[in-house]
Amino acid sequence: MILYPTIELQNGRCVSLFRGRLEEPQIWHVDPVLKAIEFAKAGAQWIHVTDFDAIAGDDRNRDLVDEIIRRAGAPVQLGGGFRSMAAIQEAVDRGVGRVVLGTVALLQPDLLKQAAKAFPDQIVLAVDVYQGQVMSDGWRQASAYRPREFLGWFDSDPLAAIIVTDIDADLGEAEDALALVTQLADVARAPVISRGIARSLDGISRLKYVPKVSGAIVGRALFDKSVDLEEALAIASEPMGRMVPMI
């Protein structure tokens, strides 16, 4: 299983959001570029970057993101504010390894299909789910769609991966934190990356036993030191036959 250490950017700073609230970020006083380099040196195969300002249509972090791409030492999977083929093309030209599309996939599914065809294995679909519904606009808007139905729209498209965010689990409200990702990984046609569950070494260990889950995104836990990245990477890369499930 591949771990994706995550850097979330707002105003040039590393942040974490509580319940997706852009107006109430938790600020981490670290250099985003140096943090990306640190993640890569620890052994991360990918760095996941979310640009919250770009989601709001503000490109103030562009140079910072470009520096992360140049200096990190691992490919970057970038999400935030992609609303056109031109923007996706530009990101690929800048050296982004994968482009993440979420809300735009709900509003313009043909754009995601076009992008996946133009950039096979570089487009990632983000599916944010709360109380059984696909959410948009940074967790603020509930759509009319259930996640299985939404995934079905893109069954034939050559996606690099599908990020499944269980918002209930991220907020600590899910009775069974693995239920959603287990169900969606079973029907997805592309590798599934879980988000919202890898908040501890135990959570990472449990995810390894979910069939068809290829990766996990971990963010806040790396910044508040509740997860050590090198330990997490060791668990994620351990051959299944040698592991003992953590109860």
Residue 8 designated active-site: yes
Cα maximum dimension of the chain: 47
Give the C-alpha separation, 168 to 214, whole Å: 21
Quick check: 199 and 218 in contact, CB under 8 A?
A: yes
Amino acid at position 63, single letter: D
Catalytic residue among 53, 128, 166, 168: 128
CA dihedral 58, 215, 151, 53 (to 10 degrees): -10
* Calpha distance 73→83 (Å, rounded): 27
The catalytically annotated residue of 8, 53, 157, 168 is 8
Residue 166 among the catalytic residues: no
Considering only CA atoms, which of 163, 138, 160, 127 is closest in space to residue 4? 163
Residues assigned a catalytic role? 8, 128
